[in-house]
Every structure is written in C-alpha cells, then in structure tokens.
Structure 1
Amino acid sequence: MHQPTFRSKPLRLAAVLLAMASLPAIAHHGWSTYDQTKPLTVTGKVVESHYENPHATIRVDAQGKRWFAVLAPVSRMESRGATQEKVAVGKQVTLVGYQSKEKADEMRVERITVDGGQTVELR
C-alpha cells in the first residue's frame, strides 16, 4: 500500500487543517461572559459531577435552583486539594464565584468549600 507523502505545501496544509478539524474543541475560553462585578455565594448539594478537562463541572441544588458550576482544570483542582471525591455527588458545597451574563443558572467558581471543611481557591 502506498503511503501518501506530504511534500507539496498544499498537501501539507490540507493535512494540518484536516487534523485540526478532527480534534475536539479544547481551546480555552475567556471569562468575559461572567459578571465579575457581583460576587455570588451558593450553598447546596452536588447532584452531578464531571471531573474532566478542560474544566471540572458540577450541578448543585441550592435555594430552589439547580446551578451549573464551572470549576478549575482537574490538575489545579487536585494540586489544591479539591479531589474528585470532594466534589462527588451528595457532597454539600459552598461556591463563591460569578454568575454568567448569558445563562441564569451558570456560574464560574473562584473558591469552593466542601462539607463545611477546607476552602479551596480555584483561580
């Protein structure tokens, strides 16, 4: 079987573009969609947890509302003591962060306290 060679610039460019298009979108997004002028504190129970990159996320039932909370990247969470077990379903958390300007039930979390214990700075 003949392997294609990418000696010409158009073929190399096409190969690079194809490879880029096939990757999942993992580019980091900006935080401008969160209202940093109004800090928000939410306390409730974790009902869903996704401990994966690019950011860990949890859903929290608090004050009659279900919040979608964007946490930090997993490596930062772990290095600061916010392990997967600490943000697992059923844990009581207090989140301090900023509400999304676009989604009424979403927030970006700056710090998290789990089960009334240690507070972890995420940013």
Structure 2
Amino acid sequence: MRAAPLAALSCAAALAALLAGPAAAHHGWSSYDDSKPITLTGKLTEVKYENPHAMVRIDANGKRWLAVLAPISRMQARGATADKVAVGREVTIVGYPSKEHGDEMRAERIVLDGQTVELR
C-alpha cells in the first residue's frame, strides 16, 4: 500500500525539477545597473533572434557590445520583427550596462528605421 504514495511523491519531485529548470536558466535583471542608462548607435554585427531573449551585437562607442533584448513574442508584437533586427542594420539601443561585463547591456528600447520600440 505504500507504493502509491511513494510513486506520487516521486512524480511530484520530477515535475518540480522540470519546472525549476527554465526558471533557473533565466537570469534576473539585478546584474544590470539601472542608475546608469546608456545609448548606443551603430550597426548590428550579429543577431540571435531566438528565445528566451533576442540578443544582438552592435559596434558603438569604439567597441562591440552585446545587448540583451526582449522575448521574441514581445518584439514581434511591438514591431521589432526579424527583418528589422538584422545584421547590417543601423539601430539605436537604450538600456543599462552590465555590472559584471563591460561590453554588455540590457536593452529597454530599440530604434529601428526611426521607430522606437519599447522592449520592457
């Protein structure tokens, strides 16, 4: 008679582990300094238009930056489609620098073809 409760407990533990995986993989925003907004304007040199967050590399201010954007569904809904966020495109990105990496930022908005897209 103890097999059923043990099996239920095992299933619950397995389910909890599966659900915790994506949450553990997602980073928080506390590693970015929101007291020091920065604006970068330049060409996109690399684009990863994929979940959980799109990421781009932009040449600006004398160096190559990594900018973490929003989830794809949010970007598409607001007009930041893959054809607009493409290698070679000139963009302006406003966001916050990483506290840990001198060439990384979290983007709050991106300007594409003169249109400002809010990412948060």
TM-score, normalised to structure 1, is 0.82
Distance (Å, rounded) in 2 between the aligned partners of 1:11 and 1:121: 43
Query: What displacement does 1:31 show?
Result: 0.7
Q: Which of the numbers 94, 118, 121 marks the counterpart of 2:118?
A: 121
Once superposed, what is the RMSD of the aligned Cα atoms? 2.1
Distance (Å, rounded) in 1 between the aligned partners of 2:72 and 2:60: 24
Task: Give the paired residue count.
Answer: 114
Identity of aligned residues (%): 62
- Residues 98 and 15 (structure 1), Cα distance of their counterparts in 2 relative to 1, 3 Å cut: closer
Q: Is the helix fraction higher in 1 or 2?
A: 2
Distance (Å, rounded) in 1 between the aligned partners of 2:45 and 2:27: 25
Moved over 2 A (4+): 6-17, 25-29
- Residues 34 and 14 (structure 1), Cα distance of their counterparts in 2 relative to 1, 3 Å cut: closer
Matched letter for residue 38 of structure 2: L
TM-score, normalised to structure 2, is 0.84
Distance (Å, rounded) in 2 between the aligned partners of 1:122 and 1:101: 20
Matched letter for residue 74 of structure 1: I
For the residue of structure 2 that corresponds to 1:26, the secondary structure is helix
1:26 aligned partner: 22
1:72 aligned partner: 70
Unaligned runs of 5+ in 1: 1-5
Query: What displacement does 1:26 show?
Result: 3.0
For the residue of structure 2 that corresponds to 1:38, the secondary structure is coil
User: Is residue 108 of structure 2 the alignment partner of residue 107 of structure 1?
Assistant: no
Matched letter for residue 118 of structure 2: E
Matches within 5 A, 1:1-123: 7=4, 8-9=7-8, 11-13=10-12, 15-16=14-15, 20=18, 25-27=21-23, 28-115=26-113, 117-123=114-120
Distance (Å, rounded) in 2 between the aligned partners of 1:32 and 1:15: 29
